[in-house]
Amino acid sequence: MLILNCPYCGMNKDETELSAGGEAHIKRFGPGSSDLDFEEYLFGRTNPKGLHFERWRCSSGCGKWFHAARCTVTLEVFGTYEAQTLEPPQSIKDLITAKRPGWSWREFS
């Protein structure tokens, strides 16, 4: 059972109390962008075997969306953070670097 801490209400929630929302930090390009950009937004996924950043919703709790950094192989959770950001906070990045030196995910490292 995956347990995540909601950064808004501070509660530890089981995965049955949460809704998974797929990959995080996906960019939607504005008017004038190409079909390829739109395809990338809709379907392009890193789907990594290892460190992943994703969206979750505290659906049986406060109802807010948040982000989580998690390993898709070990299910280790590196941390959760608020969704109102374009990149993971430095504290989470530092924590991951300590455990997985040399990591990279999309443009972050």
Partner 1 sequence: MKRFSVFAVAHEAMRQHSGWSRTWANPEQKKSYDVIIIGAGGHGLATAYYLGKNFGITNVAVIEKGWLGGGNTGRNTTIIRSNYLQDPSAAIYEKSRSLYENLSQDLNYNVMFSPRGCMMLAQTQHEMRGYKRTAHANTLQGVKTEFIGPERIQQLCPIMNVDGPRYPVLGALWQSRAGSARHDAVAWGYARACSDMGMHILQKTEVTGITQDAGNVTGVETSRGHIKCKKLGMVVAGHASVVAEMAGFQLPIESVPLQALVSEPIKPCMDVVVMANTVHGYMSQSDKGEMVIGGGTDGYNAYTQRGSFHHLEETVRALIETFPMISRLKMLRHWGGIVDVTGDRSPILSKTPLGQTFINCGWGTGGFKAIPGSGWAFAELMAKGGSPLTAEFGLDRFCAGRFVDESVAAGVAH
Q: Pick the binder of partner 1 from 11, 36, 82, 99 (CB under 8 A).
A: 36
Which range, of 25-33, 39-47, 78-86, 95-103, touches partner 1 by CB under 8 A?
39-47
10 Å CB burial of residue 74 (0-12, 13-18, 19+) is exposed
Given 9, 11, 28, 46, the residue binding partner 1 (CB under 8 A):
46
Please state, in angstroms and rounded to a whole number, the distance separating the CA atoms of residues 80 and 56: 9
Q: Cα–Cα distance between 31 and 53 in angstroms, integer?
A: 27
Answer for the pair 23, 41: CB distance below 8 angstroms, yes or no: no
Is 62 one of the binding residues for partner 1 (CB under 8 A)?
no
Per CB under 8 A, residues contacting partner 1 are 1-2, 15-16, 19-20, 22-23, 35-36, 38-39, 42-49, 52, 54, 72-75
